[in-house]
Amino acid sequence: MTTNFRACALALTCLAALAAARAAAQQVATPRLDGSIELGMRGYLESVPVVQRSKLEEYRDLGAGAFLPAFWLRYWTGDGRYAVDLRARDVARGDQEYRLRAFRVGKGGLEADWGQLPHLFATNARMLGSASASSGFTLPTPRPTTADWNAAPLLAPARVRWEPARAALWAAPSSRLDLRVEYTRIGKSGERPMGMAFGSPGSNTREILEPIDQTVHTLRLTQSYAAARWQVQTAYTFSAFRNDASSVLADNPLVATNGATTGAARGRTALAPDNVAHTVNVAAAAALPLRSRVNASVSYAVHLQDVAFLPHTINSAISNPGLALPRTALGGDVRTSVIDVGAVSRALPALTLGLHFRRFDLSDRTGELVFPAHVVNDRSLATTEPEDARRFPFSRDNARAEARWTPVPALALRAEYGWERWARDTAVRDVGVTNEHTPRLAADLTPAPWLQLHASVSRAWKRGDGYTPLSDAELPLLRRFDMADRIRDRADVVVVVTPIEPVTLSGTFSARTDDYDRSVYGLQFDRGRAAGADVTWAPGPRLALSAGYLREATRVRQRSKYRQGTALDNPTFDWVSWTDDVVETLSGSVTATIVPGRLSAFATWARSRATSEWPATNPTTPAGGTAAQNTSATATNLPTLEDELTPARLMARVQLARDWSASVGFDYERLTERDFRTDGLLPATGSDIFLGAGPSGYRARVLWASIGFRPALGRARPIL
Amino acid sequence: MRAITMKLLGPAVVAVAALAAVPPAARAQNRYVGSEQCFDCHKDEYRHFAATPKGKLFLEQPRTEDQKRGCEGCHGPGEAHVQSGGEDMTGLIRFGKAGGLTAAAQNAICLRCHDRTARLFWEGSAHEARGVACTSCHTVMSSVSDRAQLKKSTVAETCGQCHKDRTAQLLRFTHMPLREGQMDCTSCHNPHGSPNEKLLRAASVDEVCTSCHAEKRGPFLWEHAPVVESCSNCHDAHGSNHEKMLKISKPRLCQQCHIETSHPTGPQSATATRFVMGRQCTNCHFNIHGSNHPSGFAFTR
């Protein structure tokens, strides 16, 4: 109700502003005012229960009642030199957005934006106990029973609200120089589900809500200078992240008393630490003789983080000299540098040559940090092996040479060769250097005005300088996909046909395969095929139709081995699994002008249906281990995941008078989903405690109507 | 100064491209006639253009010689067109497919002014190389979008003219809020060219993502190597049918790399509770993007 009241009040204010502006414009002929406002009402034919709204309103506010979807007002001074532009969207709603611009044409101006972005995570979460910022998630003693948990009350919807705000000032003191200062603040507040492990008894976990109270500040200064044959740009960006919730506390649902080996009464998890980043960038481009151009960009960034560490545990029953912290904070210092150089030449007719080189380097200057002991999930002390806080520096080089030849206007041929090299630290990664070579061919053909063809094909070979597992615990023949040898194939075909003028048909086909040809274990291949077609037809100026279909299918195969206790290399414990995804997307739209200038109608419909199958099998029936091991090593298919989203809109728009229009519409949106991992999940499942939350299907049928006012303010004059 | 710039900027590309379409005879006799002449016949187009910021610049607040020519600043001298009563189009630069000019020739007109800031890396960029014209995405003569004078009402619709697979991904079960209008393709990409992969706005995937998701930027005490190298190792930012925009669902995603001992190595059944139910691996390994807890090396704290 409050939202409706605010929306109505704002709408009336905006209408009054527009009316006043119109009156003023009639009195003062010189300045020009433009503006529009739309005000509407929305109602559900049948209400969608709150517990089903987590996906419906994941990023938007679709509450029933009054709404003000759009407001716009622009004022031009009489000489056309200055303007003020105000736009608003979804006024007074949870996803509202406002934008103000004031500028002098071609000289400079300022901009300010503010908005709200909801991110709804769960509307059907349940939990016992109480929660507060200082004491976290507390439970009574003795701890609740399974029955208590499964009868836990619903929580308020878990959501995080983003509030991005931006202010920018820009100026062009001369036709060569552009300056810009921009400050952005993103505030995030709310809560979202998270898990906390307790490790006792039975390595139990409890799902709670992560408190979100974060702010991201970004200041960006940019300058661009353009001379006749060269340009240079410089930029400095400062970004600071602040988290006012540095940790979260939660009671163990199974243990009420701290013990040195039996578990902790409560646990504490660190949340994201504050950090800052500075980035400097210089970019330049210059025109060279012979229709050539060279450009370059150099960036250097420093990422810092030095938030004080929490103690190893809050379990008072655990103490050990090894738990003394070697430093009070990380002193994290990561530097990234990027050098990029490119050149393009069209010195020869019909031939374009390009060269490009890029080097990205990440160096981690954080000092070495070794922890002689640690505490596992606030439950138990571990002193057998010191833990080294490893850093992961790397560099990545890319080079590309390409030639594009257009022998005749109807044909363009392109040949490209690309190279990528990753260099990692072998002290912390399994592979030091990988090289990938990618030749690529492409053609664009327009044999007739009604036919366009594009085709491209590439094959890439990625090879490393030897895979050496870092850890004894790791399966020796595992090849992690980001470092593994790979053959990558890509092929794309696009056909656009315009058989008769108002009809356009297009078809696409793409195939991609990542074949990890030398990986005995780990990801084996990742293959995808996509095919689609679109048609647009405008039989007349008053009717336009379009339809599209896209089918995407991917298959991922991976191989693993169950390794438990002393049974680390039982050959029958191998298992193979696939992830088979198929996504089909259908869409269609109709736009009709029924009475020119008076009545128009619009309809759109789409359906996206996805299935994900998880078959798994053992090449050989598991045997040779204990009965429990054999059972654990036995692979079975996991249930199929499915979802289907169908949004549709049918609307008509009537021009009531010169300044007034009205729209009526019917929105339909239906989601069905099937996910065994969250559907019907009880809070007490096994020895774990969940929120019992998960996305729910829904069907929303919404009727809405709106009225738009767009007065002809000022004069629509020829400016001569 | 802009005038000098423009004179010096008359690069071979522009001259060759624009003049090649004009017969020598027409060039010889064609002169600028002024925007008033255009208005006489093209009243609606003129009015629409005059209401745009670019119209204000060209028609009311010109700063360069090109801008002072108004309509002819982009379309070229119109004398022959006017004298022929609108029949003779040979002296004019027409945008879009109907004009017969190549995309490069059309773009050269725009780049006489728009060759800096976000367009610094246009030449040699993916879109330039594929022959995308400025007018493929932008319309100068009227206001269709809230900003940037796009051809469609939103950035996503504009990009979706070609990138239909990405448009389809917006309907996926987990997606960025593009469909809801809360961000757009240009939040991450610069379609006008970039020195970075995939036309990204920042030097790496991680830098793009952490510009908003700064809580995942670190550096952390305990780093997760694939996170340090690229968010796209695990996520598909354009949308996915798996939770959290993951490429495939957990636990299979994590099991592609984690074949050490114990629970990560088991195939897991549907009754394997915490390993497959709820949040799967992140039921316990919550801080998978990095942890700053002294005992958080397994990302459980």
Q: Which chain A residues are Cβ-neighbours of B233 within 8 angstroms?
A: 482
Measured from the Cβ of residue A57, the count of other Cβ atoms closer than 10 Å reads 24
Of A31-40, A136-145, A472-481, A614-623, which range is least confident?
A31-40
How large is the average pLDDT for residues A682-710? 94
Checking if the pLDDT of A716 tops 70, the result is no
Contact assignment for B47 to A325 by CB distance below 8 Å: no
CB-CB under 8 Å, B196 with A614: no
Pairwise pLDDT comparison (A14 vs A346), residue with the higher score: A346
Q: Which residue has the higher pLDDT, B51 or B124?
A: B124
Q: What is the mean pLDDT of residues A207-218?
A: 97
Q: Is the pLDDT of residue A612 over 90?
A: yes
Of A250, A462, A558, A329, residue with least CA distance to B255 = A558
pLDDT of residue A6: 58
The burial of A108, by beta-carbon neighbours within 10 Å (0-12 exposed, 13-18 middle, 19 or more buried), is given as middle
Helix (H) or strand (E) holding B207: helix B205-210
Most A CBs within 10 A among B257, B275, B289, B291, hence the mutation to make, goes to B257
Task: State both tokens at A128.
Answer: 């016992």
Structure confidence at residue B24 (pLDDT): 46
C-alpha to C-alpha distance for A151 and A669, rounded to whole angstroms: 31
Average pLDDT over residues B97-112: 86
Does the CB of B115 have a partner CB in chain A at under 8 Å?
Answer: yes
A428 and B225 in contact by Cβ < 8 A? yes
Phi-psi region of A485 (alpha: psi -120 to 50; beta: other; left: phi over 0): beta
Q: Are A128 and A139 in contact (CB under 8 A)?
A: yes
> What is the ipTM metric for this complex?
0.93
Q: What's the pLDDT at B87?
A: 85
In whole numbers, what is the pLDDT of chain B averaged over residues? 86
pLDDT computed for residue A20 by the predictor: 57
Please compute Rg for chain B using Cα positions.
Answer: 27
Interface test with B, best of A357, A392, A572 (most B CBs within 10 A): A392
pLDDT surpassing 80 at residue A216:
yes
pLDDT of residue A471: 86
- Please check the confidence at residue B6 and state whether its pLDDT lies above 80: no
Mean pLDDT of A324-346: 96
Q: Do A371 and B296 touch (CB under 8 A)?
A: no
pLDDT confidence bin for B15, thresholds 50/70/90: very low
Please determine, for residue B91, whether its predicted confidence score (pLDDT) is greater than 60.
yes
Contact B221 A195 (CB under 8 A): no
Put simply, the answer to whether B60 touches A414 (Cβ < 8 Å) is no
What confidence score (pLDDT) does residue A202 get?
66
Residue A200: pLDDT band (50, 70, 90) is low
The H-or-E segment that residue B206 falls in is helix B205-210
Contact predicate A650/A666, CB 8 Å: yes
Distance CA A149, CA A681 (A): 12
**Does residue A458 contact residue A483 with C-beta atoms inside 8 Å?**
no
Whether the predicted pLDDT of B8 surpasses 50: no
Chain A to chain B, count of Cβ pairs less than 8 Å apart?
408
The C-alpha of A532 sits at a distance from chain B's nearest C-alpha, in angstroms, of: 9
Q: Which residues contact A711 (CB under 8 A, 6 or more apart)?
A: A18, A19, A21, A22, A35, A659
Tell which B residues from 173 to 202 touch A, by Cβ distance under 8 Å: 173, 177, 180-182, 195-197
CA atoms within 13 A on the CB side of A336: 25
- Gap between the Cα atoms of B181 and B160, Å rounded: 14
Using N-to-C axis directions, what is the helix angle for B12-20 and B103-111, rounded to 10°? Answer: 130
How far A513 CA lies from chain B's nearest CA (Å)? 15
The number of residues in chain A equals: 720
Q: What is the pTM of this model?
A: 0.91
Q: Is the pLDDT of residue B286 over 80?
A: yes
Residue range B154-183: mean pLDDT, rounded: 93
Q: Is the pLDDT of residue B14 over 60?
A: no
Q: Across-strand partners of B253?
A: none
Q: Does B30 touch chain A (CB under 8 A)?
A: no
Q: Say whether B267 and A117 touch across the interface (CB within 8 A).
A: no
- Those residues with Cβ within 8 angstroms of residue B162's Cβ, 6 or more apart along the chain or in another chain: none
For residue B5, pLDDT over 70 is answered with no
- Give me the pLDDT at residue A281, please: 97
Inter-chain touch B164–A371, beta carbons under 8 Å? no
Average confidence (pLDDT) over A108-123: 96
Q: Which residue has the higher pLDDT, B20 or B122?
A: B122
Nearest to A51 by CA among A693, A644, A670: A693
Q: Express as a percent the part of chain A with pLDDT over 90.
A: 85
Whether residue A714 has pLDDT greater than 70: no
Range from A10-19, A538-547, B58-67 carrying the lowest mean pLDDT: A10-19
**Of how many residues is chain B composed?**
301
Nearest residue to B220 via CA among B298, B300, B289, B301: B289
Q: Is the pLDDT of residue A18 over 60?
A: no
A613 Ramachandran zone, left/alpha/beta (phi>0; psi -120 to 50): beta
Lowest mean pLDDT among A419-428, A457-466, B115-124: B115-124
Is the Cβ–Cβ distance between B161 and B155 less than 8 Å?
A: no
- The candidate with the shortest Cα–Cα distance to A140, out of A262, A256, A18, is A256
Q: How would residue A618 be classed by pLDDT, with cut points 50, 70 and 90? A: very high
* Residue owning tokens 């020739």: B105
User: DSSP strand E in A369-497: where?
Assistant: 370-371, 374-376, 380-382, 387-388, 394-408, 411-424, 433-448, 451-464, 486-497
Q: Which pLDDT does position B253 carry in this prediction?
A: 97
Contact status of B131 with chain A (Cβ, < 8 Å)? yes
* Residue B202, CA atoms < 13 Å, CB-side half-sphere: 21
Q: Using CA atoms, how far apart are residues A38 and A21, in angstroms rounded to an integer?
A: 16
Q: Which chain A residues have a beta carbon less than 8 Å from that of B50?
A: 717-719
pLDDT confidence of residue A394: 98
Q: Is the peptide bond before A683 cis (omega within 30 degrees of 0)?
A: no
Span A117-128, average pLDDT: 96
Using CB atoms, pick whichever of A226, A295, A508 lies closest to residue B164. A508
**A307 vs chain B: nearest CA distance in angstroms?**
8
The whole-number pLDDT of residue A717 equals 39
Pair A564, B261: CB distance under 8 Å: yes
Question: What pLDDT is recorded for position B299?
Answer: 96
pLDDT value for B2: 44
Average pLDDT, chain A: 92
CA B79 – CA B88 distance, rounded (Å): 10
Comparing CA positions, the residue from A559, A601, A557 lying closest to residue A581 is A557
> What is the DSSP code (8-state) at residue B145?
S
What pLDDT, on a 0 to 100 scale, did the predictor assign at position A28?
A: 45
Q: What's the pLDDT at A582?
A: 98
* Buried residues in B22-57 as b, exposed as e (16+ CB within 10 A): beeebeeebebbbbebbbeebeeebbbbbbbbbbbb
